[in-house]
Amino acid sequence: MAVMSPRKAAAQRDGQSLHDLLVETAQKMIATHGTAGMTVREIARMAGVADGVLYNHFSDKEELVARALLEHVRTTEAELGDLPVAGEGTLEGNLRRHLEFGLALHAVIVPAFSGLLGQPKVLERFAEISERSGYWRDRLLTYLREERALGRLRPESEVDATAAMLVGYCHASVMAAVFPHTGPLDPPTPDAVVRAALDGIAP
């Protein structure tokens, strides 16, 4: 007797697992509508599967949303292009590129995460499954450490503090755009932030 293969979902590509289809569907929903109000039924409908299929591949909705968020961050970073290589170009130009990258990244991911303020379990799951290496902040810190090792920054440069300042500026700038009442009325420009960073680390 022939074994029946599982029925393929309407949105499923050849060779794509249902697990990956559900993550991709949720990631696309996050990219277009954010995370607020996302339901299992809506994800299943967009993927073209029954509601219960989700629980065959994920322990719960929170795991699926967390994995979709991780994919959202990775996809966004990949779309933003390359970052400077230590030892090449100018310090000012390289830091400006990092800042532009960070601002664009935060503009995409902060609204997605802001919709989860009332869903701490999703954020906990995200922290559990995400691997920090490779994220922009880590790449920025690696770049600064490499520039210091090459002698293009002062040996005593506090590169961790510099990275935290640049990341914090990106976060605050985007938060002020998403929640206008939370930011300064006259924030510094990216050029001013780059100059301030260089004042602390450049020879």
The pLDDT of 111-115, averaged and rounded, is 77
Specify the pLDDT at position 10: 55
For residue 201, give both structure tokens: 């680390």
First-last CA distance in the chain: 77
The sign of the torsion formed by the CA atoms of 16, 17, 23, 28 equals: positive
What distance lies between CA 6 and its chain's CA centroid?
Answer: 34
pLDDT tier, 131 (very low <50, low <70, confident <90, very high otherwise)? confident
Specify the pLDDT at position 109: 83
Q: Which of 169, 44, 21, 150 is CA-nearest to residue 103? A: 169
Distance, in Å, from the CA atom of 115 to the CA atom of 101, rounded to the nearest integer, reads 22
Specify the pLDDT at position 4: 34
Distance, in Å, from the CA atom of 25 to the CA atom of 16, rounded to the nearest integer, reads 12
Q: Please report, rounded to a whole number, the percentage of residues in the chain having pLDDT higher than 70.
A: 87
What distance lies between CA 38 and its chain's CA centroid?
Answer: 19
Averaged confidence pLDDT in the chain: 85
